[in-house]
Amino acid sequence: MEKPVGSDLESFEKVKSALTKSFGEKEIYLLDHYLGKEAVRNIYYLRYANPILERILKHTMIHHIEVTAMESAGLEGRAGYFDAVGTLRDMVQSHLLQICALLTMRLQEDDSIQAARIHALDQFYLPHAVSLDDVIVQGQYDAGTINGEREVSYKREESVAKSSRTSTYIALRLMSRSTRWEGVPFYLRTGKRLHKKETRISIAFQEPQKIGKGATPNRLDIILQGEAGMRLHLQTKLGGTEPEFRPLIMNDPLVCMGDCLPEHGLLLLEAITGKQTWYLSFDEVRTAWRIIEPLQKHLDKKQTKLHLYIAGSHGPDAADQWMEKMGVKWF
């Protein structure tokens, strides 16, 4: 069964009880296709296989995390599904939360990966704020141009009501209760009809003591889709008598080598052999709904602002201003 399972906690429980009346839990495969992507699984294995990386992934070293999933595509003929669901349920409840779980989970042997993922997901919470507007921003695309093609506004897409308030862009902030990640904000954003396709984790390290002119904080980008690769941002001194710096970017493509299957192929093969590790469990889906539900209720209120953005842009200006209010910028 493809995600999203249900559209909130209540409908999720109904789907679950309907399914478990006829099948045992071990016979049910809840699919999030991001968990079939080699690049997404690699978030976990990069940590697993590189102790040097694992040692620096902790709150004493990290300033904040950004997870971005941009798409240049629009509805692709799926208005009937998407208009009722919106970006928070379509992308954040599953794919983006899974990326956060893989980045923060405890390293485990293969057979307990699923349990460790659920535990990591369960640590995420919405930061305390005066208003949920400080935690989430929503947007919807207006007409614009992408790669030389003129695109219509979301409301003019086939089978979408002219009055639709469905969000095609979401930015939000989460925190984790895990002591390792204590105090580190996670900024997530995703949207359709943006300027390019890219899925990326950016790990921003703590700002160093003032080291000199031109220096910027270290950063590690793990680019999962688009021009997949890893980029480590270091600093190097410019020539001269003064300590002035320029960014030195170590860059390596991150391409799947070996027996690479497309995500659904890999997942179906695992279902055939009865392997549940990279499928969602009901507990995992329930945990994701627990995080998302208050936000979805907030967005569903008519008075919550829906910011328009031009197709082919970086998203609504309001999402940039929202970040700047917290003293950070999207990379």
Using the minimum distance from each CB to ligand BG6, give the nearer residue, 85 or 132: 85
| Residue 59 among the catalytic residues | no
Tell me, residue by residue from 89 to 108, as one string, x for binding to ligand BG6 by CB under 6 A and - for no binding: -x------------------
In 3D space, the residue among 253, 254, 208 whose CA is nearest the CA of residue 234 turns out to be 208
Phi/psi for 265 (5° steps) reads -60, -50
Least CB distance to ligand BG6 at residue 306 (A): 18
Q: Which two tokens stand for residue 318?
A: 């309001």
Count Cα atoms within 13 angstroms, Cβ side, for 44: 25
Residues 28-87 that bind ligand BG6 (CB under 6 A): 71
DSSP track, 132-154: GGGTEEEEEEESEEETTEEE--G
Q: How far is the CB of 91 from ligand BG6 (least distance, A)?
A: 6
Question: Please, which residue, 57 or 97, has the CB nearer to ligand BG6?
Answer: 97
- For the CA atoms of 92, 96, 101, 107, what is the dihedral angle to 10 degrees? 160
Complex with ligand BG6: residue 164 or 225, whichever CB lies closer: 225
Least distance in angstroms from the C-beta of 69 to ligand BG6: 7
- Kindly tell me which of 44 and 82 has the beta carbon lying closer to ligand BG6: 82
Binding mask 203-232 for ligand BG6 (x = CB under 6 A): ----------------------x-------
Nearest-CB residue for ligand BG6: 90
What are phi and psi for residue 257, nearest 5 degrees? Answer: -125, 145
Residue of 33, 59, 63, 95 marked active site:
95
CA distance 174 to 134: 11
Shortest Cβ distance from residue 79 to ligand BG6 (Å)?
Answer: 11
Q: Token pair 């460790």 is at which residue?
A: 116
Please answer whether residues 224 and 263 qualify as being in contact, where contact means their C-beta atoms are separated by less than 8 angstroms: no
Enumerate binding residues for ligand BG6 (CB under 6 A): 71, 90, 225
